[in-house]
Amino acid sequence: MFLVSLLKTIGKMVVDKSPKLNYCNKVILAPMVRVGTLPTRLLALEMGADIVYSEELIDLKLVKCKRIINELLSTVDYIDPSDGTIAFRTCDLEKPFVVLQMGTSDATRALTVGQLVQNDISGLDINMGCPKEFSIKGGMGAALMAQPDKAVHILKTLVDNLRIPVTCKIRILPNLQDTVELVKKLASTGISALAIHARTRDERPQHNPHPDFIREIVKHVSIPIIANGGSRDIQKYADILKFRLDCNASSVMVARAAQLNVSIFRKEGLLPIDEVIFRYLKLSVDYDNPPHNTKYGIQSILRDLQMTPRGKKFLQCQTMQQMCEIWDLGDYCRNKELEIFRRGKVGRRKVMPDQIIDRDLDDGEIATKKPKTENKIEISVIDDIIEENISFLRCNYSSDVRLFPKSVLYTYANIQNKLPACYETEGQNKLFRSMCKFDGKLYRSTFWQKNKRQAEQAAALVCLKHIGLVAEEELIKNGSILR
Protein backbone atom coordinates (compact mmCIF):
# COMPACT_ATOMS: atom_id res chain seq x y z
CA MET A 1 0.00 0.00 0.00
CA PHE A 2 2.89 2.31 0.85
CA LEU A 3 4.47 1.70 -2.58
CA VAL A 4 1.18 2.47 -4.35
CA SER A 5 0.78 5.68 -2.34
CA LEU A 6 4.38 6.68 -3.07
CA LEU A 7 3.95 6.10 -6.80
CA LYS A 8 0.80 8.23 -6.81
CA THR A 9 2.63 11.01 -5.00
CA ILE A 10 5.57 10.88 -7.42
CA GLY A 11 3.15 10.86 -10.34
CA LYS A 12 1.43 13.95 -9.01
CA MET A 13 4.78 15.68 -8.54
CA VAL A 14 5.74 14.93 -12.12
CA VAL A 15 2.45 16.33 -13.37
CA ASP A 16 2.85 19.45 -11.22
CA LYS A 17 6.31 20.08 -12.74
CA SER A 18 4.83 20.49 -16.21
CA PRO A 19 4.71 24.09 -17.48
CA LYS A 20 1.66 25.96 -16.19
CA LEU A 21 0.06 29.02 -17.72
CA ASN A 22 1.26 32.15 -15.93
CA TYR A 23 -1.34 34.91 -15.55
CA CYS A 24 1.02 37.67 -14.36
CA ASN A 25 1.94 40.62 -16.54
CA LYS A 26 -0.19 39.47 -19.48
CA VAL A 27 -2.33 41.15 -22.14
CA ILE A 28 -5.24 38.84 -22.86
CA LEU A 29 -7.96 38.35 -25.47
CA ALA A 30 -11.22 38.19 -23.51
CA PRO A 31 -13.87 35.52 -24.07
CA MET A 32 -16.46 36.77 -26.58
CA VAL A 33 -19.39 34.75 -27.87
CA ARG A 34 -19.22 34.12 -31.64
CA VAL A 35 -15.99 36.14 -31.86
CA GLY A 36 -13.44 34.08 -29.94
CA THR A 37 -13.19 31.19 -32.40
CA LEU A 38 -9.90 29.74 -33.64
CA PRO A 39 -9.14 32.31 -36.43
CA THR A 40 -9.58 35.25 -34.05
CA ARG A 41 -7.53 33.60 -31.33
CA LEU A 42 -4.66 32.81 -33.70
CA LEU A 43 -4.73 36.32 -35.14
CA ALA A 44 -4.71 37.83 -31.65
CA LEU A 45 -1.61 35.79 -30.79
CA GLU A 46 0.01 36.86 -34.03
CA MET A 47 -0.71 40.49 -33.14
CA GLY A 48 0.85 40.22 -29.69
CA ALA A 49 -1.71 38.86 -27.21
CA ASP A 50 -0.12 36.73 -24.50
CA ILE A 51 -3.18 34.58 -23.68
CA VAL A 52 -6.38 33.98 -25.65
CA TYR A 53 -9.74 32.86 -24.25
CA SER A 54 -12.29 30.91 -26.26
CA GLU A 55 -15.84 32.08 -26.52
CA GLU A 56 -18.02 30.80 -23.67
CA LEU A 57 -18.90 27.15 -24.31
CA ILE A 58 -21.72 25.54 -22.36
CA ASP A 59 -20.97 22.34 -20.44
CA LEU A 60 -24.21 20.70 -21.60
CA LYS A 61 -22.97 21.04 -25.18
CA LEU A 62 -19.38 19.98 -24.52
CA VAL A 63 -20.17 16.99 -22.31
CA LYS A 64 -21.71 15.09 -25.22
CA CYS A 65 -18.97 15.98 -27.72
CA LYS A 66 -16.60 13.50 -29.29
CA ARG A 67 -12.94 14.45 -29.59
CA ILE A 68 -11.71 14.07 -33.16
CA ILE A 69 -8.16 14.52 -34.43
CA ASN A 70 -8.66 16.36 -37.73
CA GLU A 71 -5.64 15.44 -39.84
CA LEU A 72 -6.90 17.51 -42.79
CA LEU A 73 -6.57 20.74 -40.82
CA SER A 74 -4.06 19.66 -38.14
CA THR A 75 -6.64 20.53 -35.49
CA VAL A 76 -8.44 18.86 -32.62
CA ASP A 77 -12.20 19.14 -32.98
CA TYR A 78 -14.88 18.59 -30.37
CA ILE A 79 -17.92 17.55 -32.37
CA ASP A 80 -21.53 17.23 -31.29
CA PRO A 81 -22.51 13.75 -32.56
CA SER A 82 -26.18 14.65 -32.73
CA ASP A 83 -25.75 17.13 -35.60
CA GLY A 84 -22.06 17.09 -36.57
CA THR A 85 -21.44 20.70 -35.52
CA ILE A 86 -18.06 21.68 -34.11
CA ALA A 87 -18.38 23.00 -30.59
CA PHE A 88 -14.67 23.75 -30.16
CA ARG A 89 -11.71 23.62 -32.53
CA THR A 90 -8.12 24.15 -31.47
CA CYS A 91 -4.59 23.46 -32.72
CA ASP A 92 -1.01 23.07 -31.51
CA LEU A 93 -0.14 26.68 -32.42
CA GLU A 94 -2.38 28.07 -29.70
CA LYS A 95 -2.21 25.27 -27.15
CA PRO A 96 0.36 26.93 -24.82
CA PHE A 97 -1.77 30.09 -24.68
CA VAL A 98 -5.43 29.09 -24.96
CA VAL A 99 -7.96 29.10 -22.13
CA LEU A 100 -11.35 27.52 -22.68
CA GLN A 101 -14.15 29.42 -20.97
CA MET A 102 -17.05 27.27 -19.85
CA GLY A 103 -20.55 28.10 -18.74
CA THR A 104 -21.73 25.72 -16.04
CA SER A 105 -23.97 25.39 -13.00
CA ASP A 106 -22.92 21.89 -11.95
CA ALA A 107 -19.59 20.82 -10.49
CA THR A 108 -19.79 17.18 -11.63
CA ARG A 109 -20.64 18.09 -15.18
CA ALA A 110 -17.97 20.78 -15.24
CA LEU A 111 -15.36 18.26 -14.10
CA THR A 112 -16.39 15.79 -16.78
CA VAL A 113 -15.84 18.47 -19.41
CA GLY A 114 -12.58 19.60 -17.82
CA GLN A 115 -11.18 16.08 -17.91
CA LEU A 116 -12.28 15.74 -21.53
CA VAL A 117 -10.53 18.89 -22.78
CA GLN A 118 -7.57 19.37 -20.44
CA ASN A 119 -5.03 17.74 -22.76
CA ASP A 120 -5.78 20.24 -25.53
CA ILE A 121 -5.81 23.55 -23.62
CA SER A 122 -3.64 25.35 -21.09
CA GLY A 123 -6.33 26.70 -18.81
CA LEU A 124 -10.02 26.36 -17.94
CA ASP A 125 -12.09 29.39 -16.97
CA ILE A 126 -15.56 29.38 -15.44
CA ASN A 127 -17.87 32.20 -16.51
CA MET A 128 -19.38 33.71 -13.36
CA GLY A 129 -20.10 37.17 -14.72
CA CYS A 130 -22.24 36.94 -17.86
CA PRO A 131 -25.48 38.91 -17.29
CA LYS A 132 -27.31 37.48 -20.33
CA GLU A 133 -30.75 36.01 -19.67
CA PHE A 134 -29.77 32.63 -21.11
CA SER A 135 -26.96 32.26 -18.58
CA ILE A 136 -28.93 33.55 -15.62
CA LYS A 137 -31.91 31.25 -16.25
CA GLY A 138 -29.54 28.28 -16.50
CA GLY A 139 -27.94 29.12 -13.16
CA MET A 140 -24.70 30.06 -14.93
CA GLY A 141 -22.74 33.27 -15.37
CA ALA A 142 -23.66 36.08 -12.99
CA ALA A 143 -26.22 33.81 -11.28
CA LEU A 144 -23.29 32.08 -9.54
CA MET A 145 -22.25 35.35 -7.89
CA ALA A 146 -25.50 35.19 -5.94
CA GLN A 147 -24.65 31.61 -4.87
CA PRO A 148 -21.05 31.86 -3.61
CA ASP A 149 -21.08 28.46 -1.90
CA LYS A 150 -22.06 26.80 -5.16
CA ALA A 151 -19.45 28.80 -7.06
CA VAL A 152 -16.79 27.75 -4.55
CA HIS A 153 -17.82 24.10 -4.85
CA ILE A 154 -17.50 24.17 -8.64
CA LEU A 155 -14.08 25.81 -8.56
CA LYS A 156 -12.73 23.60 -5.77
CA THR A 157 -13.88 20.46 -7.60
CA LEU A 158 -12.03 21.54 -10.71
CA VAL A 159 -8.88 22.73 -8.95
CA ASP A 160 -8.56 19.48 -7.00
CA ASN A 161 -9.06 17.18 -9.97
CA LEU A 162 -7.57 18.84 -13.07
CA ARG A 163 -3.94 19.13 -14.15
CA ILE A 164 -4.38 22.56 -15.73
CA PRO A 165 -4.89 25.94 -14.05
CA VAL A 166 -8.48 26.88 -13.23
CA THR A 167 -9.70 30.48 -13.18
CA CYS A 168 -13.00 32.32 -13.16
CA LYS A 169 -14.34 35.61 -14.47
CA ILE A 170 -16.80 37.73 -12.50
CA ARG A 171 -18.34 41.21 -12.42
CA ILE A 172 -18.24 43.53 -9.45
CA LEU A 173 -21.13 43.71 -7.00
CA PRO A 174 -22.79 47.07 -6.30
CA ASN A 175 -21.10 47.16 -2.89
CA LEU A 176 -17.30 47.17 -2.74
CA GLN A 177 -17.00 45.24 0.51
CA ASP A 178 -19.38 42.54 -0.77
CA THR A 179 -17.21 42.23 -3.85
CA VAL A 180 -14.04 41.90 -1.78
CA GLU A 181 -15.61 39.17 0.35
CA LEU A 182 -16.77 37.27 -2.73
CA VAL A 183 -13.33 37.47 -4.33
CA LYS A 184 -11.67 36.21 -1.14
CA LYS A 185 -13.98 33.19 -1.09
CA LEU A 186 -13.30 32.37 -4.73
CA ALA A 187 -9.54 32.83 -4.31
CA SER A 188 -9.55 30.41 -1.36
CA THR A 189 -10.42 27.53 -3.73
CA GLY A 190 -6.89 27.51 -5.18
CA ILE A 191 -7.72 29.08 -8.54
CA SER A 192 -4.72 30.43 -10.45
CA ALA A 193 -6.18 33.85 -11.31
CA LEU A 194 -9.41 35.80 -11.29
CA ALA A 195 -10.66 38.13 -14.03
CA ILE A 196 -12.93 40.99 -13.00
CA HIS A 197 -15.12 43.00 -15.33
CA ALA A 198 -15.23 46.43 -13.66
CA ARG A 199 -18.99 46.82 -14.03
CA THR A 200 -21.96 45.39 -12.17
CA ARG A 201 -24.34 42.80 -13.55
CA ASP A 202 -26.80 45.51 -14.60
CA GLU A 203 -24.29 47.91 -16.15
CA ARG A 204 -23.52 47.93 -19.85
CA PRO A 205 -20.65 49.22 -22.05
CA GLN A 206 -22.07 52.76 -22.07
CA HIS A 207 -21.61 52.94 -18.30
CA ASN A 208 -18.28 53.95 -16.83
CA PRO A 209 -16.19 51.10 -15.42
CA HIS A 210 -15.06 51.13 -11.77
CA PRO A 211 -11.29 50.62 -11.66
CA ASP A 212 -11.33 51.78 -8.03
CA PHE A 213 -13.09 48.52 -7.09
CA ILE A 214 -10.33 46.46 -8.65
CA ARG A 215 -7.63 48.57 -7.00
CA GLU A 216 -9.12 47.74 -3.62
CA ILE A 217 -9.68 44.05 -4.40
CA VAL A 218 -6.03 43.61 -5.36
CA LYS A 219 -5.02 44.50 -1.78
CA HIS A 220 -6.91 41.53 -0.31
CA VAL A 221 -5.80 38.53 -2.42
CA SER A 222 -2.47 37.10 -3.53
CA ILE A 223 -3.54 35.54 -6.84
CA PRO A 224 -3.25 37.51 -10.10
CA ILE A 225 -6.22 39.79 -10.79
CA ILE A 226 -7.04 40.37 -14.46
CA ALA A 227 -8.77 43.70 -15.14
CA ASN A 228 -11.49 43.79 -17.79
CA GLY A 229 -14.03 46.36 -18.99
CA GLY A 230 -11.90 49.26 -20.22
CA SER A 231 -12.51 48.99 -23.98
CA ARG A 232 -14.49 52.24 -24.29
CA ASP A 233 -11.24 54.13 -23.56
CA ILE A 234 -8.88 51.79 -25.41
CA GLN A 235 -7.86 53.16 -28.81
CA LYS A 236 -4.26 51.94 -28.96
CA TYR A 237 -1.94 49.49 -27.23
CA ALA A 238 -0.74 52.07 -24.69
CA ASP A 239 -4.35 52.49 -23.52
CA ILE A 240 -4.45 48.79 -22.56
CA LEU A 241 -1.51 49.28 -20.23
CA LYS A 242 -3.02 52.49 -18.85
CA PHE A 243 -6.22 50.66 -17.87
CA ARG A 244 -4.16 47.97 -16.19
CA LEU A 245 -2.28 50.61 -14.19
CA ASP A 246 -5.52 52.39 -13.29
CA CYS A 247 -6.74 49.11 -11.79
CA ASN A 248 -3.34 48.15 -10.31
CA ALA A 249 -4.05 44.68 -11.74
CA SER A 250 -1.60 41.88 -12.54
CA SER A 251 -2.88 41.61 -16.10
CA VAL A 252 -5.48 43.09 -18.41
CA MET A 253 -8.13 41.52 -20.62
CA VAL A 254 -9.50 43.19 -23.78
CA ALA A 255 -12.88 42.43 -25.34
CA ARG A 256 -14.68 44.96 -27.56
CA ALA A 257 -11.58 46.89 -28.59
CA ALA A 258 -10.15 43.61 -29.89
CA GLN A 259 -13.42 42.68 -31.56
CA LEU A 260 -13.32 45.94 -33.53
CA ASN A 261 -9.66 45.61 -34.49
CA VAL A 262 -7.62 42.73 -33.15
CA SER A 263 -4.40 44.56 -34.04
CA ILE A 264 -5.01 46.52 -30.82
CA PHE A 265 -2.52 44.00 -29.40
CA ARG A 266 0.27 45.36 -31.63
CA LYS A 267 2.78 47.48 -29.73
CA GLU A 268 3.73 49.03 -33.07
CA GLY A 269 0.21 50.37 -33.66
CA LEU A 270 -3.09 49.46 -35.32
CA LEU A 271 -3.21 47.94 -38.80
CA PRO A 272 -5.70 49.15 -41.45
CA ILE A 273 -8.95 47.20 -41.18
CA ASP A 274 -8.57 45.79 -44.71
CA GLU A 275 -5.30 44.15 -43.70
CA VAL A 276 -6.91 42.81 -40.51
CA ILE A 277 -9.84 41.39 -42.50
CA PHE A 278 -7.44 39.89 -45.06
CA ARG A 279 -5.48 38.04 -42.35
CA TYR A 280 -8.65 36.98 -40.55
CA LEU A 281 -10.19 35.65 -43.76
CA LYS A 282 -7.04 33.72 -44.65
CA LEU A 283 -7.03 32.02 -41.24
CA SER A 284 -10.75 31.30 -41.60
CA VAL A 285 -10.06 29.57 -44.91
CA ASP A 286 -7.04 27.70 -43.55
CA TYR A 287 -9.04 26.32 -40.62
CA ASP A 288 -12.34 25.82 -42.43
CA ASN A 289 -14.19 28.25 -40.17
CA PRO A 290 -17.97 28.29 -40.80
CA PRO A 291 -18.88 31.08 -43.26
CA HIS A 292 -21.62 32.48 -41.00
CA ASN A 293 -19.15 32.84 -38.13
CA THR A 294 -16.52 34.42 -40.38
CA LYS A 295 -19.12 36.86 -41.69
CA TYR A 296 -20.08 37.87 -38.16
CA GLY A 297 -16.42 38.54 -37.34
CA ILE A 298 -15.98 40.77 -40.39
CA GLN A 299 -19.21 42.63 -39.64
CA SER A 300 -17.79 43.44 -36.20
CA ILE A 301 -14.74 44.97 -37.87
CA LEU A 302 -16.57 46.87 -40.62
CA ARG A 303 -19.20 48.48 -38.38
CA ASP A 304 -20.52 51.60 -40.22
CA LEU A 305 -18.62 50.60 -43.37
CA GLN A 306 -21.27 47.93 -43.93
CA MET A 307 -23.37 50.72 -45.44
CA THR A 308 -20.80 51.51 -48.15
CA PRO A 309 -21.19 49.91 -51.63
CA ARG A 310 -18.52 47.34 -50.79
CA GLY A 311 -20.05 46.73 -47.38
CA LYS A 312 -23.47 46.11 -48.89
CA LYS A 313 -21.91 43.70 -51.37
CA PHE A 314 -20.30 41.90 -48.45
CA LEU A 315 -23.62 41.65 -46.61
CA GLN A 316 -25.02 39.68 -49.57
CA CYS A 317 -22.29 37.04 -49.24
CA GLN A 318 -23.19 33.59 -48.00
CA THR A 319 -20.09 31.58 -48.84
CA MET A 320 -16.45 31.91 -47.86
CA GLN A 321 -15.59 32.16 -51.55
CA GLN A 322 -17.81 35.20 -52.04
CA MET A 323 -16.31 36.99 -49.04
CA CYS A 324 -12.78 36.19 -50.15
CA GLU A 325 -13.39 37.63 -53.64
CA ILE A 326 -13.96 41.06 -52.07
CA TRP A 327 -10.56 41.01 -50.34
CA ASP A 328 -8.57 39.48 -53.23
CA LEU A 329 -8.41 36.03 -51.69
CA GLY A 330 -10.71 34.35 -54.20
CA ASP A 331 -8.13 32.09 -55.82
CA TYR A 332 -6.56 31.23 -52.46
CA CYS A 333 -9.93 30.27 -51.01
CA ARG A 334 -10.94 28.23 -54.05
CA ASN A 335 -7.69 26.27 -54.09
CA LYS A 336 -7.66 25.70 -50.34
CA GLU A 337 -11.27 24.52 -50.20
CA LEU A 338 -10.67 22.18 -53.13
CA GLU A 339 -7.54 20.81 -51.46
CA ILE A 340 -9.47 20.07 -48.25
CA PHE A 341 -12.44 18.71 -50.18
CA ARG A 342 -10.34 16.36 -52.31
CA ARG A 343 -8.48 15.05 -49.26
CA GLY A 344 -11.73 13.70 -47.91
CA LYS A 345 -13.50 16.36 -45.90
CA VAL A 346 -17.04 15.37 -44.97
CA GLY A 347 -18.70 18.77 -44.91
CA ARG A 348 -21.83 20.57 -46.03
CA ARG A 349 -21.38 19.26 -49.58
CA LYS A 350 -21.82 15.70 -48.37
CA VAL A 351 -24.43 16.18 -45.68
CA MET A 352 -27.24 13.62 -45.77
CA PRO A 353 -30.25 13.19 -43.54
CA ASP A 354 -29.57 11.10 -40.43
CA GLN A 355 -25.83 11.54 -40.77
CA ILE A 356 -24.28 10.91 -37.36
CA ILE A 357 -20.94 10.53 -35.70
CA ASP A 358 -20.74 7.16 -34.00
CA ARG A 359 -19.19 7.32 -30.54
CA ASP A 360 -18.03 3.72 -30.90
CA LEU A 361 -15.94 4.37 -34.00
CA ASP A 362 -12.28 5.33 -33.98
CA ASP A 363 -11.42 9.02 -34.07
CA GLY A 364 -12.23 10.55 -37.41
CA GLU A 365 -14.55 7.83 -38.67
CA ILE A 366 -17.99 8.84 -39.84
CA ALA A 367 -21.05 6.60 -39.89
CA THR A 368 -23.99 7.60 -42.07
CA LYS A 369 -27.50 6.32 -42.46
CA LYS A 370 -28.78 6.69 -45.99
CA PRO A 371 -32.19 8.30 -46.27
CA LYS A 372 -35.16 6.46 -47.62
CA THR A 373 -36.39 7.99 -50.85
CA GLU A 374 -39.72 7.90 -52.55
CA ASN A 375 -39.98 9.49 -55.98
CA LYS A 376 -43.45 9.90 -57.37
CA ILE A 377 -42.01 10.59 -60.83
CA GLU A 378 -41.82 7.28 -62.68
CA ILE A 379 -38.14 6.63 -63.29
CA SER A 380 -38.71 3.57 -65.44
CA VAL A 381 -39.93 5.59 -68.42
CA ILE A 382 -37.07 8.06 -68.30
CA ASP A 383 -34.00 7.70 -70.50
CA ASP A 384 -31.46 9.16 -68.06
CA ILE A 385 -31.04 10.36 -64.51
CA ILE A 386 -28.49 13.15 -64.43
CA GLU A 387 -27.05 14.04 -61.02
CA GLU A 388 -24.48 16.60 -59.93
CA ASN A 389 -23.47 18.11 -56.60
CA ILE A 390 -24.71 21.61 -57.47
CA SER A 391 -26.12 23.86 -54.77
CA PHE A 392 -28.52 26.76 -55.13
CA LEU A 393 -27.05 29.79 -53.35
CA ARG A 394 -29.64 32.54 -52.97
CA CYS A 395 -26.96 35.24 -52.81
CA ASN A 396 -26.01 34.54 -56.44
CA TYR A 397 -29.34 35.91 -57.66
CA SER A 398 -30.97 39.33 -57.64
CA SER A 399 -34.46 39.97 -56.34
CA ASP A 400 -35.79 39.48 -59.90
CA VAL A 401 -37.39 36.01 -59.75
CA ARG A 402 -37.28 35.80 -63.57
CA LEU A 403 -33.54 35.15 -63.25
CA PHE A 404 -33.96 32.21 -60.86
CA PRO A 405 -33.14 28.77 -62.35
CA LYS A 406 -36.78 27.55 -62.30
CA SER A 407 -37.98 30.69 -64.07
CA VAL A 408 -35.21 30.53 -66.69
CA LEU A 409 -36.07 26.88 -67.37
CA TYR A 410 -39.79 27.69 -67.61
CA THR A 411 -39.13 30.51 -70.12
CA TYR A 412 -36.87 28.23 -72.17
CA ALA A 413 -39.57 25.54 -72.28
CA ASN A 414 -42.12 28.06 -73.63
CA ILE A 415 -39.75 29.29 -76.32
CA GLN A 416 -38.94 25.71 -77.38
CA ASN A 417 -42.61 24.65 -77.26
CA LYS A 418 -41.84 22.00 -74.68
CA LEU A 419 -43.79 20.96 -71.62
CA PRO A 420 -42.71 22.89 -68.50
CA ALA A 421 -40.54 21.09 -65.97
CA CYS A 422 -42.18 19.34 -63.04
CA TYR A 423 -40.64 18.71 -59.66
CA GLU A 424 -40.85 16.12 -56.91
CA THR A 425 -39.27 16.92 -53.55
CA GLU A 426 -38.28 14.68 -50.67
CA GLY A 427 -37.60 16.03 -47.23
CA GLN A 428 -36.00 14.38 -44.22
CA ASN A 429 -34.66 15.82 -40.96
CA LYS A 430 -35.07 19.40 -42.21
CA LEU A 431 -33.10 18.72 -45.40
CA PHE A 432 -34.61 18.66 -48.88
CA ARG A 433 -33.74 17.35 -52.34
CA SER A 434 -35.74 17.63 -55.56
CA MET A 435 -36.04 15.77 -58.87
CA CYS A 436 -36.67 17.86 -61.98
CA LYS A 437 -38.31 16.18 -64.98
CA PHE A 438 -37.80 18.01 -68.25
CA ASP A 439 -37.88 16.89 -71.88
CA GLY A 440 -37.80 13.19 -71.09
CA LYS A 441 -34.95 13.30 -68.56
CA LEU A 442 -34.56 13.51 -64.80
CA TYR A 443 -32.21 16.00 -63.18
CA ARG A 444 -31.25 16.04 -59.53
CA SER A 445 -28.68 17.66 -57.30
CA THR A 446 -27.05 15.39 -54.77
CA PHE A 447 -26.77 18.46 -52.51
CA TRP A 448 -29.40 18.54 -49.78
CA GLN A 449 -30.84 22.05 -49.36
CA LYS A 450 -32.37 23.68 -46.30
CA ASN A 451 -35.87 24.09 -47.77
CA LYS A 452 -38.12 22.84 -50.57
CA ARG A 453 -37.87 25.98 -52.72
CA GLN A 454 -34.09 25.91 -52.77
CA ALA A 455 -34.08 22.17 -53.52
CA GLU A 456 -36.25 22.73 -56.63
CA GLN A 457 -34.01 25.60 -57.75
CA ALA A 458 -30.94 23.34 -57.37
CA ALA A 459 -32.56 20.62 -59.50
CA ALA A 460 -33.41 23.21 -62.16
CA LEU A 461 -29.81 24.42 -62.05
CA VAL A 462 -28.54 20.92 -62.82
CA CYS A 463 -30.89 20.84 -65.80
CA LEU A 464 -29.82 24.29 -67.05
CA LYS A 465 -26.18 23.26 -66.92
CA HIS A 466 -26.75 20.12 -68.95
CA ILE A 467 -28.83 21.81 -71.64
CA GLY A 468 -26.20 24.53 -72.00
CA LEU A 469 -27.98 27.54 -70.52
CA VAL A 470 -25.55 27.91 -67.61
CA ALA A 471 -21.79 27.51 -67.98
CA GLU A 472 -19.92 25.20 -65.64
CA GLU A 473 -17.21 27.84 -65.22
CA GLU A 474 -19.78 30.30 -63.88
CA LEU A 475 -21.09 27.75 -61.37
CA ILE A 476 -17.59 26.98 -60.17
CA LYS A 477 -16.75 30.65 -59.79
CA ASN A 478 -19.86 31.52 -57.76
CA GLY A 479 -19.43 28.52 -55.49
CA SER A 480 -22.39 26.42 -56.71
CA ILE A 481 -19.99 23.69 -57.84
CA LEU A 482 -16.86 22.42 -56.12
CA ARG A 483 -14.53 20.61 -58.46
Q: Per the residue annotation, which of 91, 130, 168, 463 is the catalytic one?
A: 130
For residues 441 and 388, the answer to whether their CB atoms sit within 8 Å is no
Cα-Cα-Cα-Cα dihedral sign, residues 236, 237, 242, 244: positive
Bridge partners of 445?
388
For 280-347, the three-class secondary structure string (H helix, E strand, C coil) is HHHHHHHCCCCHHHHHHHHHHHHHHHHHCHHHHHHHCCCCHHHHHHHCCCHHHHHHHHHHHHHCCCCC
Q: How far is the C-alpha of 237 from the C-alpha of 240, rounded, in Å?
A: 5
For residues 171 and 228, the answer to whether their CB atoms sit within 8 Å is no
**CA-based nearest residue to 133, from 120, 143, 123:** 143
Bridge partners of 241?
none
| Packing angle of the helix pair 211-218, 176-187 (nearest 10 deg) | 50
Residue type at 228 in one-letter notation: N
Residues 6+ apart with CB under 8 A from 18: 163
| Packing angle of the helix pair 211-218, 237-247 (nearest 10 deg) | 60
Cα-Cα-Cα-Cα dihedral sign, residues 413, 418, 419, 421: negative
Residues 6+ apart with CB under 8 A from 245: none
Q: Starting at the edge strand that comes first in sequence, how are the strands of the sheet with 431-438 ordered?
A: 385-388, 441-445, 431-438, 422-428
130 is catalytic: yes
- Catalytic residue numbers, as ranges: 130
